[in-house]
């Protein structure tokens, strides 16, 4: 019963007493009864007020509890996120959870099975990183880049030793994110285009310009600039180079097959500008000159001059053993041997040495056949 209704009942009761004549004998009884009614009404009204207050306090307490619970939940989620981020940083080192590092001077052979006589599936240059999956009988099961296989445990560092030595080989890499990216002579769009590189090609970063608006990069033994809008930047270690089985088309001579296999055995060896040693150091034209000399074709030690000694063909006609020439504009400054399957082998630069690349890792100026 609401308070105002109780007041109305009291008023009505009192009014009733004043209107009707009441015998004296009943007066005391009525008076006692009215006192009881009034006392009960007041008691109930007081109870109602207290109950309403209790309801208000209960709602406020519940609201405060919800706020505190939300804050606690947010703090827990924030803490979990930080812990997860820390764990990921701790677990990953240049993208590897269980890092292995090639501890060699030139390259480490990756074999199909844990056996010295097993087929060679790739080569890890000095300082190349890999994911280590396990160890058996003196061999590590690893994956580096696109190459998965086994390497001798004698030449692979793991754990803290691998991380410590890896600092020497880590490099900043710009990965192309657009279909075709221009490499320019200067960090602006008004200068000369040195060459073009395709999507997913990785370029070594030499310098950051204008807070990442441009990056100075290395491509073979040249330097140029690429826009920061079209590359992803990351810290990476060298990775294994694939030596896939070369599939030759119909009519390919044994000379071409032998020439390519001969060239591939030097993958991982060092690059030396002006060098002519396939084992101790060679530059791009020195590499092609020395490989071809073994097959009776004698070329000058100059990438610009070598095209004059053969027959120019279209890239679609290229067969294993033909040469791809690259450069800036129409000026040739680099050469590589086509090995089939859309790949070339070449002496790239002092960082990577002799390696395998996509034949269109930069735009070729011409393709020349000598066989």
Structure confidence at residue 351 (pLDDT)? 86
Q: Is 37 exposed, middle or buried (0-12, 13-18, 19+ CB in 10 A)?
A: middle
Q: List Cβ neighbours of 222 (8 Å cut-off, separation of 6 or more).
A: 194, 328, 333, 334
Question: Using CA atoms, how far apart are residues 334 and 319, in angstroms rounded to an integer?
Answer: 19
Cβ distance 316 to 330 under 8 Å?
no
Among 137, 154, 146, CA closest to 102: 154
Structure confidence at residue 292 (pLDDT)? 97
Using N-to-C axis directions, what is the helix angle for 24-91 and 3-19, rounded to 10°? Answer: 180
Q: 100 forms bridges with which residues in the sheet?
A: 130, 158
Q: How far apart are the first and last CA of the chain?
A: 111
> In residues, how long is the chain?
371
Structure confidence at residue 33 (pLDDT)? 55
Give the chain's residues under pLDDT 50: 1-22, 26, 38, 41-42, 45-50, 52, 86-90, 245-246
Structure confidence at residue 330 (pLDDT)? 83
Structure confidence at residue 366 (pLDDT)? 97
pTM for the structure as a whole? 0.66
Question: Using CA atoms, how far apart are residues 179 and 188, in angstroms rounded to an integer?
Answer: 19
Q: List Cβ neighbours of 311 (8 Å cut-off, separation of 6 or more).
A: 368, 369, 370
Structure confidence at residue 245 (pLDDT)? 47
Structure confidence at residue 206 (pLDDT)? 95
Structure confidence at residue 78 (pLDDT)? 67
Q: List Cβ neighbours of 137 (8 Å cut-off, separation of 6 or more).
A: 114
Structure confidence at residue 329 (pLDDT)? 80
Structure confidence at residue 91 (pLDDT)? 63
């Amino acid at each position: 019963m609401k308070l105002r209704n109780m007041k109305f009942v009291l008023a009505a009761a009192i009014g009733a007493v004043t209107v009707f004549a009441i015998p004296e004998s009943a007066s005391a009884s009525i008076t006692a009864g009215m006192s009881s009614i009034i006392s009960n009404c007041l008691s109930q009204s007081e109870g109602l007020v207290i109950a309403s207050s209790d309801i208000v306090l209960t709602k406020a307490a519940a609201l405060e509890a919800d706020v505190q619970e939300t804050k606690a939940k947010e703090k827990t989620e924030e803490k979990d996120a930080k812990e997860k981020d820390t764990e990921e940083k701790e677990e990953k080192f240049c993208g590897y959870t269980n890092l292995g590092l090639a501890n060699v001077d030139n390259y480490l052979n990756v074999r199909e099975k844990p056996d010295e006589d097993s087929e060679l599936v790739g080569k890890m240059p000095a300082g190349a990183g890999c994911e280590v999956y396990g160890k058996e009988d003196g061999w590590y099961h690893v994956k580096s880049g696109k190459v998965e296989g086994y390497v001798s445990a004698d030449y692979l560092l793991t754990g803290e030793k691998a991380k410590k030595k890896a600092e020497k080989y880590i490099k900043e890499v710009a990965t192309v994110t657009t279909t075709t990216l221009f490499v320019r002579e200067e960090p602006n769009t008004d200068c000369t285009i040195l060459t073009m590189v395709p999507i997913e090609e990785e370029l070594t970063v030499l310098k950051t310009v204008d807070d990442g608006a441009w990056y100075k990069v290395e491509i073979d033994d040249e330097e140029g600039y690429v826009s920061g809008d079209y590359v992803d930047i990351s810290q990476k270690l060298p990775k294994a180079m694939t030596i896939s089985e070369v599939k030759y088309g119909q009519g390919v001579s044994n000379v071409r097959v032998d020439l390519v296999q001969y060239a591939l055995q030097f993958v991982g060896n060092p690059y030396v500008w002006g060098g002519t040693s396939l084992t101790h150091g060679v530059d791009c034209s020195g590499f092609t000159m020395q490989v071809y000399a073994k097959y009776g074709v004698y070329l000058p030690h100059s990438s610009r001059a070598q095209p004059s000694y053969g027959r120019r063909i279209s890239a679609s006609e290229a067969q294993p053993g033909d040469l791809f020439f690259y450069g800036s504009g129409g000026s040739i400054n680099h050469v590589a041997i086509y090995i089939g399957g859309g790949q070339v082998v070449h002496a790239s630069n002092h960082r990577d040495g002799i390696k395998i690349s996509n034949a269109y890792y930069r735009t070729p100026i011409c393709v020349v056949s000598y066989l």
